[in-house]
Amino acid sequence: MPAPIFSFQPRVEPLVTSAAPALGELTLVELAARLAPRALVLLDGWPRGTSVLAFDPLPARPPRSLAGLRRFHARLEPGVGDPVPGGFHGGFLGALSYELGAAAERGLRLPRDPWALAPIVGGLFTDFLVRDEARGETFLVLGERPGDGRAGVSRRARALRKALLAPAELEPCRPCGPLRRLVPRAAYRRRIERVRALIAAGEVYQVNLSHRLERALAGEPFELYRRLRALHPAPYAAYLRGASCALLSASPELLLEFGPEPVARALARPVLRARTRPIKGTAPRGADEGADRAQATALLASAKDRAELAMIVDLERNDLGRIAAPGGVWVEGFPSLESYASVHHLVADVLARPRPEIDALACLAALYPGGSITGAPKLRSMEVIAALEREGRGFAYGSLLALDTRGVATASLLIRTLIWRPRAQVGPGAGEVSYRVGGGITWGSEPAAEEAEAEAKGLLLARALAGAAESG
């Protein structure tokens, strides 16, 4: 029996009405708290200066592969409707596991995620809120007759506003045990030395090695997300809640932006562009302004960190070269410094002009998984990671993807991300969180310094789990 086809016929109206003026004072984070714990996706400040809060996905089970994602996405067809504000025009919102990238590489077998979560979570969305963060305006977008028998637009709009006017009553998230490091320091340092030996033997140039931590929790994971974003503001922050898990991301890294050139959007045949923005090179923030400036200056001047970034930029140039027109790959801003709450990073933009037959999913498959969390060469580094880490990564170092009905896509890289799952067998409200930290290992890596870098990257994740800041 063929899978049903759905339609996105958008109806757009301001969220604020004379009957609900108080909603104009609330951010999408505050509004999301009033919808939790139902299934939803929050893109917190992206794509392109807007925020998106999507809810009530269509009744369609997500696929289990990148090839299946193409067919799944095609089940939602664009229809005639109102102009949609912002960078997401209905479509797929969800997360992809790291291991999905293995499907494109013949013979590459990776271990399973120890939590055995589905490889893709999320869904097809026709109903969402869009907030213009610069203007502070929020719009309600509802799909008219998407094809699943849901109530009409007017009735859904009334029910949503009623739900959003009710104050959030979420159980505070609190730790129920210690933060457990699953790979001891000595074992992790031995793994680093093993990578250096492989580099000396000429098998790899760089490997992004990581280790995992866990902590038992009680309470609502969205409260933990609010705590995390207060501690660790990030350009690709996001929250996803599904039936089996939640993802709480404070990611600073863009994996893919695919769509019309910003300066060519008004053309009859806009020119498409793909962009990835790898991060490589990290230094902790200084204790005061002078020390912080010195840390940033030293990072920009570091031959090791610049070489680390150069390797991954070359890898991403090669990945994008697989889908680009001849001569259609270039680099901008090498290196650039970006500063976050706990660390400084080096970054660069790698851009491509895709060939006419290339769409967003073909571009994503060429890049996946991201070079900054694998290494160079990519295939061999993934084999080394699998052998040394001895378990799958799951959504850690995967991607959160927004792919709309126009074929426009933005995908973050799921670093600085907490993965939550419920533990109903333990007790009501029980759950646990897992996350990974690590870094790129090169011949110049010193194990103690790599340990310190990984700890700096995970500092605010651990602090959020410990309840060291007020929910905000």
Could you tell me if 127 and 89 are in contact, meaning their C-beta atoms sit under 8 angstroms apart? Answer: no
Q: Among 414, 398, 394, 38, which Cα is nearest to 221's? A: 38
| Residues above pLDDT 70, as percent of the chain | 96
Neighbours of 296 (CB within 10 A): 17
pLDDT tens per residue, range 295-354: 999 999 999 999 999 999 999 999 999 999 999 999 999 999 999 999 999 999 999 999
List, as one string, the DSSP characters of 121-182.
EEEEES-EEEEETTTTEEEEEEESS-SS-PPPHHHHHHHHHHHHHSPP--PPPEE-S--EES
- What is the chain's mean pLDDT, rounded? 94
Residue 446: its pLDDT value, please?
95
| Angstrom distances, CA of residue 49 to CA of 33, 136, 178, 330, 333 | 21, 11, 38, 25, 21
Q: Fill in the DSSP letter of residue 244.
A: S
- Determine the Cα–Cα distance for residues 74 and 264; give it in Å rounded to an integer: 26
What is the average pLDDT across 375-404? 97
- CATH fold of 6-165+173-466 reads Anthranilate synthase (3.60.120)
Q: Is pLDDT above 50 for 470?
A: no
Lowest mean pLDDT among 83-87, 309-313, 382-386, 422-426: 422-426
Query: What is the average pLDDT across 202-223?
Result: 97
Residue 66 has pLDDT above 60, yes or no: yes
Q: Tell me what pLDDT residue 263 has.
A: 62
Tens-place pLDDT, residues 257-272: 999 987 655 555 568 9
CA distance 312 to 392: 22
Which pLDDT value is given to residue 460?
95
Distance CA 460, CA 462 (A): 5
What is the arithmetic mean of pLDDT over 287-295?
Answer: 96
φ/ψ of 397, rounded to 5, equals 70, 15
A 10 A CB-CB count for 67 gives 14
* pLDDT tens by residue, 128-165: 999 999 999 999 999 999 999 999 999 999 999 999 99
Predicted pLDDT of residue 304: 92
Q: Is the pTM of this model over 0.85?
A: yes
Question: Where do the H-state alpha helices sit in 248-335?
Answer: 289-301, 303-321
What burial class does residue 390 get, using C-beta atoms within 10 Å of its C-beta: 0-12 exposed, 13-18 middle, 19+ buried?
A: exposed
Consecutive H or E run containing 206: strand 206-218
pLDDT tier at 254, thresholds 50, 70, 90: very high
For residues 14-36, average pLDDT: 94
Residue 32 reports pLDDT greater than 90: yes
**Which H or E run includes 114?**
none
Neighbours of 171 (CB within 10 A): 12
Mean pLDDT, range 173-196, rounded to an integer: 96
Total count of residues recorded for the chain: 472
pLDDT digits (tens, 9 = 90+) for 370-384: 999 999 999 999 999
- Token pair of 334 as six digits: 């090498």
Peptide bond into 447 cis (omega under 30): no
Q: Identify the band that residue 468 occupies on the pLDDT scale cut at 50, 70 and 90.
A: very low
Instruction: Kindly compute the dihedral angle of the four CA atoms of residues 68, 70, 73, 76, in this order, to the nearest 10 degrees.
Output: -110
Give the type of residue at 165: L
Question: Which pLDDT does position 186 carry in this prediction?
Answer: 96
Residue 472 pLDDT > 70: no
Contact 211, 438 (CB under 8 A): yes
Q: For residue 192, is pLDDT > 50?
A: yes
